[in-house]
Chains A and B, each alone.
Chain A
Amino acid sequence: MSGVLALLGGPRSAALHLGLIAVLAVLQFVLAEYHHIAMSRILVLACFAIGFNIAFGYTGLLSLGHALFFGAGMYGAGLAAQFLAVAGPGAFLIGLAAAIATTLIAGAIALRTAGVSFMIVTLMFAQAGYLTVYYFGAYTRGDEGFVVDATMRTLFGLALNDATVRYWIALALFAVCLVGALAVARSGLGRVLVAIRENEERARMLGYDVYRYKLTALVISGAMAGAAGAAYGLLFGYVGASFASIQYSILPLLWVLMGGAGVVLGPFLGTLAMFYLIDLTSGVTTAYLLVVGLALIALILFFPKGILGTLREKLGARGASWLP
């Protein structure tokens, strides 16, 4: 029991994170239809953001190419379902494997650089991935995308186009990613990652193989992004090139910055807040990306630590015990 508690970051943190999952499980019976669907989307996208946070928040690797991993998961799963007639669980695993393989290759090369070069290399890899989707337009149908056949969107006999099933699966995936991130953050691995973020040279001097740790962090990050992409494609039944575009590399960055980089709950809060912020303003203007731009600048100027990062700092030692 104490092992599980330690994994979850102590009693307070365990209560907070498990409590959130419980609240989300109950919430679906209260939410109106529109918000019910929105919430399942947010939960899947939050997994993407949680993955991004492992690289950016904990390891200090600012990637501008996570759409590549999200897209690899989505296209891996979507194309498997569409052309190989592999149903739900198999397609998901193929997507996940595609994302892990992509991250491993792209990461192994990109991590030879650091700082601004790393950002541009990841950006370029993601751009090449995006263009590849167009290049194979005969299968992917480029920008237009394709609808995944409903008969392939099943999981152990459950139809994925049912809203309740979808919510439960999204929540299950979210729970796995959240607890996984918590476990990583609290583990020895997580502490080394933070040490690398804070001072890479010092970590190297202490004898850590920095490159290998960074690659490990990136692969965990890419796997979560890919899982989110695969789940998104299968749950909502649509696979399109826009999900591999640069915008989907920027969005997780925005979500994590808003919620709080390096806080396990940050990505979820950021995704939730940003989703409803855009939702509210899209009633006023169609130029919703304006909100994205304003939010990015406001955050970087006034709240570089995000909502939960600022809160944790204010709370001091107590904050650290609630919000690892």
Chain B
Amino acid sequence: MDFGPFFLLAAMEGAVGAAVLAVTALGLSLVFGVMRVVNVAHGEFYMLGAVIAWWVTSLLGVHPALGFLAALIVSPLIVGAIAGAAERLVLTRIHYDPEATIVATIGMLYIIQQAVLMTYGPDARPVQPPFDFRIQLPWFGYSGYKLFVILAAALLMLAVWWGLTRTRVGLMMRATQFDRETARAFAIPVDTVYGGVFAVGAMLAALGAVLVTPIQQAHYLMGHDPLLLSFIVVIIGGLGSLRGTVLAAVIIGMSDGIISVFFSPTLAKIIATLAVAFVLVWRPQGLFGERPA
């Protein structure tokens, strides 16, 4: 294949990765923005979303499209419920202390991961794509499902944006993010908002994972890379800035895809992790952050 089409293929693969990453990282960014805590278990909620998607589709045993649709609804709901329960049981009791929260969510990471290992097992299992449709380009055929992922991710992000800026619940979230004490004084149930935001953040991770399972199999260790990449994206985009997160996800996702194809994937990750460290040190508000930290 010539350089041009090859680059196009790499860019398309990168765009699919970027779309899933944007949805996943948005969840992490939302939690950090509103609650000011870092959720290290975010990758495990992603993994849980994928595993539940496999479980739902194989349990129903119906047409792949129906199964996928069911997974798209059931999986985020279950993951959201688990995350909400974890938030009530653990995070409220440590009063969202930033350091204690990191330690506690590391604990959740291991518990979820190992619980899945004990029940689901160490195998990687695929989910049938909802439809088989190939788009024939002049140089190569491309999976129509992958293009659907990009579209679905864009719709999801629009929905989140609409929810945050146009609804009453979104207003409560933004008020809590802006000033927790004042929000409480205006009778906004800050504790409930916290629980809800943590659940919604996990649900976004689960949604990203359901979208990815027909491309990448569900496996109990699959949460590791999305977690690191989400960290990278959220920090480069500016902690708590949703617009920055989406923008950074596109940049990081695309460049990760392209560098991995043309150079070494390990080198791509080394560069990305070091970039994050240096962004945090010299530009703590992130590259696209709106206000200095």
Contact = CB atoms under 8 A, between A and B. Distances in A.
Interface of A: 62, 64, 109-110, 112-113, 115-117, 119-121, 123-125, 127-128, 131-132, 134-135, 250, 253, 257, 285, 287, 289-290, 292-297, 299-301, 304
A250 B106 contact: yes
A123 B109 CA distance: 15
B264 A135 contact: yes
A135 B113 CA distance: 27
Interface string B103-116: 11011111111110
Contact of B38 (A120, A125, A132, A287): A120
B113 A289 contact: yes
B269 interface: yes
Given A117-B284, A290-B110, A293-B107, A132 B270 contact: yes
A62 B104 contact: no
Interface in B258-292: 264, 266-267, 269-270, 273-274, 276-278, 280-282, 284
Given A121-B281, A124-B273, A287-B117, A116 B98 contact: yes
Given A128-B270, A290-B110, A294-B111, A120 B280 contact: yes
Contacts, number: 112
B149 to A, nearest CB: 27
Contact of A119 (B102, B113, B114): B102
B231 interface: yes
14 contacts: A113-B284, A115-B98, A116-B98, A116-B102, A120-B235, A120-B280, A121-B281, A124-B280, A134-B266, A257-B103, A287-B114, A287-B115, A289-B114, A293-B108
B156 interface: no
B247 interface: no
Contacts of A289: 110, 113-114
A103 to B, nearest CB: 15
Interface residues of B, number: 39
Contacts of A117: 280, 284
Contacts of B110: 289-290, 292-293, 296
A123 B6 CA distance: 35
A124 B277 contact: yes
A293 B102 contact: no
Contacts of A128: 270, 273-274, 277
B281 A301 contact: no
Contacts of A292: 107, 110
B188 interface: no
Given A124-B277, A300-B104, 20 more contacts: A109-B277, A112-B282, A117-B284, A121-B280, A127-B269, A128-B273, A131-B266, A134-B266, A135-B264, A250-B106, A257-B103, A293-B109, A293-B111, A293-B114, A295-B107, A297-B90, A297-B104, A297-B107, A297-B111, A300-B103
- 8 closest cross-chain pairs (CB), A and B: A293-B110, A296-B107, A290-B114, A297-B107, A293-B111, A287-B114, A124-B277, A293-B107
Contacts of B104: 296-297, 300-301
Contacts of B99: 62, 115-116, 119
A109 B281 contact: yes
A304 B100 contact: yes
- SS class of chain A's interface: helix, strand, loop or mixed? helix
Contacts of A257: 103
Nearest to B37: A116
Nearest to A106: B277
A124 B274 contact: yes
The residue in B113, B118, B281 that gathers the most chain A C-beta atoms within 10 A of its C-beta is B281
B228 interface: yes
B93 interface: yes
Contacts of A120: 38, 231, 235, 276-277, 280
B94 interface: yes
A3 to B, nearest CB: 37
A6 to B, nearest CB: 33
Nearest to A295: B107
A64 B103 CA distance: 10
Nearest to A294: B111
Contact of A296 (B103, B114, B267): B103
A137 to B, nearest CB: 9
B100 A300 contact: yes
Nearest to A250: B106
A293 B99 CA distance: 16
